[in-house]
Structure 1
Amino acid sequence: MKFRVVYVLLVAGLLNTACKSAGDQPITDAASAAKPNILIIHVDDLGYHDLSFTGSEIYQTPNIDRFAKEAVVFTNAYANYPRCVPSRYAMMTGGYPIKDGDVPDDGFEMNTVSDTKNYIKQIDASGYQTAYFGKWHLGGGANNPQGFGFDTSVAAGAAGSPMSYLYPINTPKGKGQPKKEPIPDVDALEQEGDYLTDLLTNQVLDYIKNRDTKQPFMAMLAFYAVHQPIEAKEADTQRNQAEIAAHDFGNLPEYIEEGTGRTKMRQDNAEYAAMVENMDANVGRILKLLDELDLDENTLVLLSSDHGGLSNDGTKKRQLATSNYPLRAGKGWLYEGGIKVPLFARWKTKLQPHTTDRLTLLMDVFPTLLDLTQSKTLETDGQSFLPALQGRESEANRMVYWHSPNARPANTGDTPSSAIRVGDYKLINWYKEGRFELYNLKQDPFEQTDLSKTMPDKVNELAQALNDWKANL
């Protein structure tokens, strides 16, 4: 099947410090190079295989596909958590999503991040105009994007998902929907017939067109798509219904049992497919504007997702959005389907398109940007992947961790677990159950062969390292 991804980070005018492309010599003195513009596009709940570039036979993503073919492609990129808030916190702060010695699902206070560890304030203080558009989900009030250091923000607040994607956006369309926070600003911006993903893109396009061209900008677009509610334009849904009806899924079952519930195995939700394709069209609109304004060659575009797609339910049966198959499980799980994300970086004049297997996490994004734009590091766990962009490093020898204590056995079928990866090996520990699973991801990327019984020494080695890390949370 074809699939899709989404989390785009556009960095316009990235420093000449970047990499050598055909005929270009890298400039090593960052201070003498022009400051890059930066545009980050972050897509919510988009699975690794939710792009036709990564294998989906259902979702058509021609704009992201073209972009990826011109990009550095990361094959070992991960979210720091299999759900929204901790993943976003890790990305924005360049570190593991830890608060008071644990990893909560929410409750992070962004305004308590010190200036010395705040990448946004560092970039803002170096002369950037900064703006944030869309899903924040990291608190309101003083914890909003402006409180964290962005100069301006649009449609960014405590809401984790919209009441509706369809006008009027802050009005639920279905019955019995849980009460949600309204999305700021949209009431004043929207017009009859608007669709939220289009509306957010319009704001970013206007910002780029009307920016102060004498200063570099850093803007972040965090789509609410493709998170639930699953709502799409009718024409897009009907087109996908016809395509799915004509598709041969072979012997692939619709669901398999996983944890306390089911894993969806088919990408057969026409309305979700329409949401993905609308998101891709809006990414295309942004790329087109960069081209029209002669910004595309001086723009680094980085695309990924905040975690795996929603493919699992639990004891409570629910409508599922997508399938991460052949990756195992999805959102909420520490299997690859829950944490593996697409990550692409394009900078036409400076980065030679290539594939890297460097082990990379979303917490590495802003350390990379700071390294690239200022040749500077902060004291966080994230590591710059600038060497991988430049083709100087195929894989970093590092040990990375996950801790998911707030499982949702009713909604996503998972139970409390932790994980560690080093090299090709990944160990998952369901610590309340006293159970381990060990996988060699190079040989078994779909986690079908548990090696824990045949490699007890490796289990003990990785379990000790994982427990040492957790003891110091």
Structure 2
Amino acid sequence: MNAKPNVIIVYMDDLGYGDLSSYGANTIQTPNFDKIVNGGVKFTNGYATSATCSPSRYALLTGRYPWRNENAKILPGTAPMLIDTNQITLPKVLKKAGYYTGIIGKWHLGLADGNIDWNQQISPGPNEVGFDYSYIMAATQDRVPTVYIKNGTVENLEQDDPIMVNYDENFEGEPTGLDNPELVEMKWHHGHNNSIVNGIPRIGYMKGGEKAKWDDKDMAYTFLEEVKSFIGRNKEKPFFLYYAMQQPHVPRTPAPEFVGKSGMGPRGDVILEADWCVGELLKTLKEQELLENTLIVFTSDNGPVLNDGYYDDAVEKLGDHDPAGGLRGGKYSLYEAGTRVPFATYWKGRIEPTTNNAIVSQVDLLSSISHLVGINLQSEDSQNLKNVLLGESSQGRESVILEATGRTALRSGDYILIPPYKGAAVSQHVNIELGNSMDYQLYNIKSDPGQSENLVESQPEKLEEMIAQFKEIRGEINSEAEPLELK
């Protein structure tokens, strides 16, 4: 057994606080997720830094609040690298501590300088910011290019069928979801009407690379087999694996074995598919005799969304299920459901099962894991909560800044402050309350988790205290700032 524990981060995509049976769901059962949540430290106040994907992933790997980087927003598939190759990152720190590091799954943090030739070695990418091994999709499952990239090279690409990608204009003669609805198998609702791959219209335009294109329904299996192989190859030395799963992000394309299994449509089906994948991960660790020397961190990049671009029965078949778990808002929102997510740590034989109400943030993983492996890293934003993550303390953060499409809020103690922001109160696309109001909002999140009672008038002293604290961390409040466009 290695002296240092292996570290695996299982990162879900758009999984809500109420999407697991271990977090209160009744209409869906997630036994393998529950093994981690109920077998380790279950956090009830665990946060992603942001209510959207790229910013949260940036914070997870760099230990830096994404609002400090003006480019940390939802990225197109042709975006330049968001992480500077000179930045400290979690995989870099773990490499320094003797770990072999890998990412498998969704990247969505940009590649190269943005002028990407997909037919050559793509650099910089994950391998240039600390990962020894990378097997990724460049952006998201609903964005082109729809190919797997292994250590900077598109897998299965044929030289006589080069890939071309453009997010501004289509390639002549190529069908789109907008112009060729007869070719679409999954109907688009908003924003997803460009190039069609496997009957699914995507965001962005792509031509070529036919043999390299992924099969959506096999994606979960493809990434899982990579995970199993990575563990098998590296079992003799400490390893760090960032397993960035694509579920339940759109397009939801469960493998045939999971179609209809949840009774809640594809969204429920892919949650069950992901739960099975995590079960296979645990089984692999047990077979390799690594389970008792592996710290697993399980969480999600942001809160839930139902209709996020396709008609897929997520709304119609929801039934009594509440993906937000009683919280207000969802993905894209400054309300709690945007950033408060399932968050658990599991280490068989080391961490005792417990529920912890401490405030923890994914931005803290850099410092906390660094200290776990013997590197005393100091960071402006990332706090060392190693003892909290190991279940040895309930003293978490005093406060955390939360972000959604360029707007920020403050969680401090039991209170949430949302400054005034212009913009729609509810997104017309996804039907989620965004948290925008031209008035301050103040909530006691402990007594009022659903954020139904604005305390601005009844607790003016608390309001002033929270405003002062917010300004000290974040700077002046710009209530005229336009929220970034949702896509």
Please report the TM-score for the alignment, with normalisation by the length of structure 1.
Answer: 0.76
Matched, 1:223 2:195: no
- Are the counterparts in 1 of residues 147 and 213 from structure 2 also a CA contact under 8 Å? no
Map residues 171-182 of structure 1 onto 2, 5 A cutoff: 172-174=197-199, 176-179=201-204
Instruction: Compute the displacement of 1:159 (Å).
Output: 3.9
Corresponding residue to 2:4 among 25, 35, 43: 35
- Are the counterparts in 2 of residues 441 and 447 from structure 1 also a CA contact under 8 Å? yes
Change (3 A) 1:363 1:100: closer
Residue 29 of structure 1 corresponds to none
Amino acid at match of 2:414: D
Residue 395 of structure 2 corresponds to 395
Map residues 323-472 of structure 1 onto 2, 5 A cutoff: 323-406=323-406, 417-432=407-422, 433-471=437-475
Map residues 35-184 of structure 1 onto 2, 5 A cutoff: 35-99=4-68, 104-106=73-75, 109-112=81-84, 114-115=86-87, 117-141=88-112, 142-159=123-140, 161=142, 172-174=197-199, 176-179=201-204
- Are the counterparts in 1 of residues 83 and 109 from structure 2 also a CA contact under 8 Å? no
Q: Deviations over 1:164-198 (max 9, x none)?
A: 99999x9623465432679x9x95696x8961011
Change (3 A) 1:278 1:187: farther
Change (3 A) 1:468 1:193: closer
- Are the counterparts in 2 of residues 364 and 385 from structure 1 also a CA contact under 8 Å? yes
Q: Deviations over 1:391-426 (max 9, x none)?
A: 4421335221124354xxxxxxxxxx4311111011
The count of corresponding residues between Structure 1 and Structure 2 is 398
Residue 273 of structure 1 corresponds to 268
* Distance of 1:374 and 1:339 partners within structure 2: 30
* Distance of 1:174 and 1:357 partners within structure 2: 45
* Distance of 1:102 and 1:166 partners within structure 2: 24
Structure 2 spans left out of the alignment, 5+ residues: 113-122, 149-155, 157-194, 423-436, 478-487
* Distance of 1:231 and 1:74 partners within structure 2: 29
Q: Deviations over 1:294-348 (max 9, x none)?
A: 111111111111110114779x999756631411110000111111011111111
* Distance of 1:274 and 1:318 partners within structure 2: 11
Q: Deviations over 1:129-150 (max 9, x none)?
A: 1111110000113342112121
Bigger mean CA offset, 340-349 vs 429-438: 429-438
Change (3 A) 1:195 1:118: same
Instruction: Compute the displacement of 1:36 (Å).
Output: 1.9
Instruction: Compute the displacement of 1:38 (Å).
Output: 1.7
* Distance of 1:112 and 1:216 partners within structure 2: 26
Instruction: Compute the displacement of 1:363 (Å).
Output: 0.6
Q: Deviations over 1:232-269 (max 9, x none)?
A: 2345333333xxxxxxxxxxxxxxxxxxxxxxxxxxx4
* Distance of 1:214 and 1:175 partners within structure 2: 42
- Are the counterparts in 1 of residues 81 and 125 from structure 2 also a CA contact under 8 Å? no
Change (3 A) 1:123 1:390: closer
Q: C-alpha root-mean-square deviation of aligned residues, in Å?
A: 3.3
Instruction: Compute the displacement of 1:452 (Å).
Output: 1.3
- Are the counterparts in 2 of residues 111 and 143 from structure 1 also a CA contact under 8 Å? no
Matched, 1:203 2:237: no
Corresponding residue to 1:302 among 297, 300, 307: 297
Instruction: Compute the displacement of 1:361 (Å).
Output: 0.6
Change (3 A) 1:222 1:390: closer
Bigger mean CA offset, 157-166 vs 98-107: 157-166
Change (3 A) 1:399 1:457: same
* Distance of 2:364 and 2:80 partners within structure 1: 19
- Are the counterparts in 2 of residues 41 and 303 from structure 1 also a CA contact under 8 Å? yes
Amino acid at match of 2:95: D
Instruction: Compute the displacement of 1:227 (Å).
Output: 0.5
* Distance of 2:312 and 2:266 partners within structure 1: 15
* Distance of 2:16 and 2:205 partners within structure 1: 24
* Distance of 1:209 and 1:43 partners within structure 2: 23
Residue 278 of structure 2 corresponds to 283
* Distance of 1:181 and 1:172 partners within structure 2: 9
* Distance of 1:223 and 1:138 partners within structure 2: 15
- Are the counterparts in 2 of residues 45 and 307 from structure 1 also a CA contact under 8 Å? yes
Q: Deviations over 1:23-78 (max 9, x none)?
A: xxxxxxxxxxx122222211111111111111112222111112222111111101
Please report the TM-score for the alignment, with normalisation by the length of structure 2.
Answer: 0.74
Amino acid at match of 1:302: V
Q: Deviations over 1:360-409 (max 9, x none)?
A: 11111122111101141132311122121344421335221124354xxx
* Distance of 1:222 and 1:290 partners within structure 2: 17
- Are the counterparts in 1 of residues 217 and 256 from structure 2 also a CA contact under 8 Å? no
Instruction: Compute the displacement of 1:103 (Å).
Output: 5.4
Amino acid at match of 1:124: K
Change (3 A) 1:193 1:162: closer
Amino acid at match of 1:455: Q
Query: Residue 11 of structure 2 aligns to a residue in which SS?
Result: strand
Q: Deviations over 1:205-234 (max 9, x none)?
A: 0111122x4421111110112100122234
Residue 254 of structure 1 corresponds to none
Bigger mean CA offset, 88-97 vs 371-380: 371-380
Instruction: Compute the displacement of 1:456 (Å).
Output: 1.4
- Are the counterparts in 2 of residues 308 and 331 from structure 1 also a CA contact under 8 Å? yes
